[in-house]
Amino acid sequence: PPWDNTIEGIIRGFEVVAAGKIALCVANIERRQKSGMSYEDAWNMTSVQLTQASEAHCRVFILTSYFEETERQVKTTSPELREVLLQLVDLYVVYWALQRVGDLLRFTSISERDIATLQNWYEELLTKLRPNAVGLVDAFDLRDEILHSALGAYDGRVYERLMEEALKSPLNAEPVNQSFHKYLKPFMQGKL
Amino acid sequence: VNPDLQREREKCSFNITELTNLLDGGPQMTEERRRREATVLNEGIHIEEVPSEYLSHKEKYELAVKKACHLFKLIRRLQEEENTGMENFRAILGGSLGAAILQDGSPLTLHYVMFIPTLMGQASVEQQAYWIGRAFNLDIIGTYAQTELGHGTFIRGLETTATYDPKTKEFVLHSPTLTAYKWWPGGLAHTANYCIVMAQLYSNGQCHGIHPFIVQLRDEETHMPLPGIKVGEIGAKLGMNGTNNGFLGFEHVRIPREHMLMKNCQVLEDGTYVKSPSSKLTYGTMMFVRVVIVKDMCNYIAKAVTIATRYSAVRRQSQPKPDEPEPQIIDYLTQQHKLMVGISTVHAFQLSAEWIWNLYNNVTAELDAGDMERLPELHALSCCLKAVTTADAAECVERCRLSCGGHGYMLASNLPVTYGHVTAACTYEGENTVLLLQTARYLVKTWQQATGGTVLPPTVAYLSRVGAGRRS
């Protein structure tokens, strides 16, 4: 079928990839068996492809459930939130299409022009989402005690917190560590 | 608040609370979660005199036990006050709240994540009446031992034996070799005094495959290991060093017949084996845990991407245009590329997790009614979803760490510890490659059914639709 450069089209493309990979695995197992291999050995020889087929199947599931469930969710959200949630779905689906472009080229009718369009689409989505990045992570509503991070606290006092944490190092409890007298000093004096 | 971060918040185009409510499942759920978090954090259990990263291995464990006990005391109090059930255990100990308090993991996690659910899923009604109350009250501490030193996901290969002796009406548990020693279960080393052990059942000279047994490991008063029990800790790991993972061997340890979990299969007093309607029923606990893992991955990625995004708004670097100030690093497209996919992954995994959680509950209900039609589909899906989400989560967290440069390498960023947690999930409850191959077995079988014209279950129905599925 002709390639359809839409979210639905990409998900259908992933279905074709997963089905194609499973079909190839079955064909390879059968071919190896015909050449005299036992089923177990044929399975083992095909196992790298089999793991890739499983992963492709899982991608279909994640992409489909994400897309369909979001479509259902946004029916009840405000238009502003709807727009952002759909941008996120688009970003995720296009990101994975670009990550698996080799598979799409192998199993579907995607063209180089389609890929260029996808790349451009992805870059535009990043720019569109950029102003909402902090709002999107704030919405995860993780308290500072839960984040437990000098870099990620809500107030953004990154450098002050890094310094506060540095001062907690047990090595900072004394100005001169005993190892200086024990090892470094004799060594340095011996050298001198 | 840092002015750059403040500006970011001012330009947000949507209502943040609306999205929080959506992620929580409604405003009431958000309120409930916030109240729970406030209650737990107000106890101050998470506050450490000395940062735990500077403690020794032994001290880390002792601190983890202290915190876990405080937390359980709190949960028990909340349950009495609010008359709630298992939900509080999961809500407080699982997910990001539990991880915040027990940075190195909890030695009691398996007690509520596996010990109690296995009793619920595999013990008979009489056994549940006896054990579950004791477990809930923490009169006993349990864990779940399946993996052996020489045997992982392939559970039919387990070597530990449970041989029934009809004369004494006891099972004799034995580890015939070093490779038969149980290896890895959290809490097993010095915390648990009971353990559900998966062992090959022998009765009247016949092997009936693996079955679950509840075994007492330590004296309930002195906590000393019982005769014939060889138990200890497996040593320091990449992360999660508070979880007290242990090894366990048996030297002809005798347990009463009633200690075999008998919801599905039974051994009668004379040694007669009564078979389960399906040997697949024993996979229930593993599937439950895999579904929980998918939910956990959402929390870890959300944490990592929140840290990295806020940092990227504060951090300024380089001077691409002369006479202009250093830009926020979030303005670089490469940085956006690192962060945005993490944010969307949280949403994608959360919705997938909810979907499979509903499927899990439906299939469990169907199982109780004797219908096992969708069990293989759920098993296959939970296997690959666990593998893919943990691998993606590890990649996302690592990408977030890299997006914070050298500061992300600091333990104070919490990104290395978070990575330790997610990468552990790539290994436990089924190593990812092994799980993908289990899914593959189902897919190959399903593909053959599709070519034969069989109507396929919903999650694989596309194989019939797609032409390439019939190419060969």
**Per-residue pLDDT tens listing for chain A (192 residues):** 899 999 999 999 999 999 999 999 999 999 999 999 999 999 999 999 999 999 999 999 999 999 999 999 999 999 999 999 999 999 999 999 999 999 999 999 999 999 999 999 999 999 999 999 999 999 999 999 999 999 999 999 999 999 999 999 999 999 999 999 999 998 888 865
User: In this structure, what is the dihedral angle of CA atoms B61, B67, B68, B74, given to the nearest 10 degrees?
Assistant: 170
Average pLDDT, chain B: 92
How many angstroms away from the CA of A110 is the closest CA of chain B? Answer: 15
For residue A129, which residues of chain B lie inside 8 Å, CB to CB? Answer: 336, 340, 343
Contact between A26 and B307 using a beta-carbon 8 Å cutoff: no
Contact between A140 and B340 using a beta-carbon 8 Å cutoff: no
Q: DSSP E strands: which ranges in chain A?
A: none
For residue B34, which residues of chain A lie inside 8 Å, CB to CB? Answer: 141
How many angstroms away from the CA of A189 is the closest CA of chain B? Answer: 32
Contact between B343 and A136 using a beta-carbon 8 Å cutoff: yes
Q: A4: Cβ–Cβ under 8 A, 6 or more apart, which residues?
A: A10, A12, A13
Mean pLDDT of B107-130: 92
Cross-chain CB nearest to A19 (options B305, B414, B466): B466
Look at residue A188 and give its three-state secondary structure. Answer: helix
Restricting to A residues 40-69, those with a Cβ less than 8 Å away from any Cβ of B are 47, 50-51, 53-55, 57-63, 65-66, 69
Cβ proximity of B283 and B116 under 8 Å: no
Cross-chain CB nearest to B22 (options A58, A77, A170): A77
Residue B112, pLDDT score: 87
Look at residue B95 and give its three-state secondary structure. Answer: helix
Mean pLDDT of B203-213: 95
Mean pLDDT of B394-413: 98
Residue B468, pLDDT score: 47
Mean pLDDT of B427-456: 93
Residue B74, pLDDT score: 87
Measured CA to CA, the distance from residue B334 to residue A126 in angstroms comes to 10
Residue B472, pLDDT score: 39
Cβ proximity of B203 and B162 under 8 Å: no
Identify the DSSP state of B284: H
- Count other Cβ atoms within 10 Å, centred on residue B70: 16
Contact between A139 and B100 using a beta-carbon 8 Å cutoff: no
Residue B282 has pLDDT above 70, yes or no: no
What pLDDT, in 10s, does the model give residues B213-272?
999 999 999 999 999 999 999 999 999 999 999 999 999 999 999 999 999 899 999 999
- Taking each helix axis from N to C end, the angle separating A7-34 and A79-99, rounded to the nearest 10 degrees, works out to 30
Q: Residue length, chain A?
A: 192
Measured CA to CA, the distance from residue B351 to residue B356 in angstroms comes to 9
Interface contacts (A, B; CB < 8 Å):
302
The structure tokens listed for B122 are 């595999």
Measured CA to CA, the distance from residue B256 to residue B254 in angstroms comes to 7
Measured CA to CA, the distance from residue A104 to residue A95 in angstroms comes to 13
Question: Which residue in chain A is spatially nearest to B298 when comparing CA positions?
Answer: A140
Mean pLDDT of B322-350: 97
Contact between B310 and A137 using a beta-carbon 8 Å cutoff: yes
Separation in Å, CA A122 to CA A69, B8, B201, B214, B342: 21, 22, 56, 54, 14
Contact between B2 and A157 using a beta-carbon 8 Å cutoff: yes
Q: Catalytic site residue B221?
A: no
